[in-house]
């Protein structure tokens, strides 16, 4: 089944404790992206990747890092999480470009205490 | 600020009625639009898309209308069912931009049995 998977689905952590949220897609998509979704603000793009070793900042990149060493994986790294990063995070992928239909993962709900 | 927005944050309809969800966009250079459905606890799912060279596109029980004159997009759901209850949001691509989608904040559709 074609899908985007994320892990973990739920995470509670404390300020300053580094964490990684994994994202993987099995559709051989070139484009991958991370979003955060907050009430009243909608989806905001954090980082995106056009292909392996090609990443770029989205609208709200501060406090986040990403890497794209393999085509299928696009992990999101929070080096020193803060409470304002408490949010619902989605990974998405599309065949080649960000303006094409993006397929979303199930989401990761993060609480930073 | 976001160039994609929605007129109504919530919409309540009776089961079996037709639903119309609206989206306004402000950039006349937008040339591709997508509607997504997000059910509670899940990631956004693609519903239907439309390019700017079209005025109307139909899917299964859904129709998207594009009025470029007034920069307005609508999603019509025929014979709305309880399973249609979700948040719906539109996304646009601005021609010549980095090519990333810009997402609206969403409208919550509630279907009363």
Rounded Cα distance, B44 and B64, in Å: 17
**How many Å lie between the alpha carbon of A79 and the closest alpha carbon of chain B?**
25
pLDDT mean across residues, chain A: 94
Q: Is A14 helix (H, G, I), strand (E, B) or coil?
A: coil
Name the residue among B95, B103, B27 with its Cα closest to residue A97.
B95
* Percent of chain A residues past pLDDT 90, beyond the cut: 85
Query: What pLDDT digit, counting tens, does each position of A7-38 carry?
Result: 999 999 999 999 999 999 999 999 999 999 98
Rounded Cα distance, A103 and A76, in Å: 17
Query: What pLDDT digit, counting tens, does each position of A73-98 carry?
Result: 999 999 999 999 999 999 999 998 87
Rounded Cα distance, B25 and A77, in Å: 33
Q: What is the pLDDT of residue B4?
A: 44
Angle CA(A90)–CA(A95)–CA(A97) in degrees, nearest 5?
80
What tokens does A31 get?
A: 């484009």
**How many Å lie between the alpha carbon of B39 and the closest alpha carbon of chain A?**
10
Is the pLDDT at B98 greater than 80? The verdict is no
DSSP secondary structure letter of residue A85: G
Is the pLDDT at A101 greater than 90? The verdict is no
Q: What is the pLDDT of residue A1?
A: 84
Q: How confident is the model at residue B96 (pLDDT cuts 50, 70, 90)?
A: low
* A99/B43 Cβ within 8 A: no
| DSSP labels, chain B | --SEE-S-SEEEEETTS-EEEEEEE--TTEEEEEEEEE-TTS--EEEEEEETT-SEEE-SSEEEEEETTTTEEEEEESS--GGG-EEEEEEEEETTSSS--EE---EEEEEE-
Rounded Cα distance, A14 and B103, in Å: 30
| pLDDT (mean) for A97-109 | 88
For residue A78, say if its preceding peptide bond is cis, omega within 30 degrees of 0.
no
**How many Å lie between the alpha carbon of A6 and the closest alpha carbon of chain B?**
11
Q: Which residue has the tokens 């393999």?
A: A70
Is the pLDDT at B99 greater than 70? The verdict is no
What tokens does B110 get?
A: 């509630």
DSSP secondary structure letter of residue A77: E
Angle CA(B37)–CA(B38)–CA(B43) in degrees, nearest 5?
120
- Which of B44, B100, B105 is the closest to A48 by Cβ? B100
Q: How many CA atoms lie within 13 A of B75 on its CB side?
A: 32
Query: What pLDDT digit, counting tens, does each position of B63-87 carry?
Result: 999 999 999 999 999 999 999 999 9
Is the pLDDT at B7 greater than 50? The verdict is no
Interface of B with A (CB under 8 A): 2, 32, 34, 36, 41-46, 49, 89, 93, 97-101, 103-106
């Amino acid at each position: 089944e074609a899908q985007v998977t994320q892990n973990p689905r739920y995470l509670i952590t404390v300020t300053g404790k580094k964490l990684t949220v994994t994202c993987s897609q099995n559709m051989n998509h070139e484009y991958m992206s991370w979003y955060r979704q907050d009430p009243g603000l909608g989806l905001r793009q954090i980082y995106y990747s056009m292909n392996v070793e090609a990443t770029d900042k989205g609208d709200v990149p501060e406090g986040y890092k990403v890497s794209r060493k393999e085509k299928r994986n696009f992990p999101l790294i929070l080096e020193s999480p803060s409470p304002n990063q408490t949010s619902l995070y989605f990974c998405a992928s599309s065949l080649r470009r960000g303006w094409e239909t993006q397929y979303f993962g199930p989401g990761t709900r993060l609480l930073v205490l | 600020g976001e160039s994609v927005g929605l007129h109504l944050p919530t919409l309540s309809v009776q089961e079996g009625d037709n639903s119309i969800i609206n989206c306004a966009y402000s950039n006349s250079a937008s040339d591709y639009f997508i509607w997504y459905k997000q059910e509670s606890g899940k990631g956004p799912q693609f519903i239907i898309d439309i390019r700017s060279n079209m005025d109307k596109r139909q899917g299964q029980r859904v129709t998207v209308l594009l009025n470029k004159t007034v920069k307005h997009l609508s999603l019509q759901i025929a014979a709305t069912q309880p399973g249609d209850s979700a948040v719906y949001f539109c996304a646009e691509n601005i021609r010549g931009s980095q090519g990333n989608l810009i997402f609206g904040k969403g409208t919550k559709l509630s279907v009363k049995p």
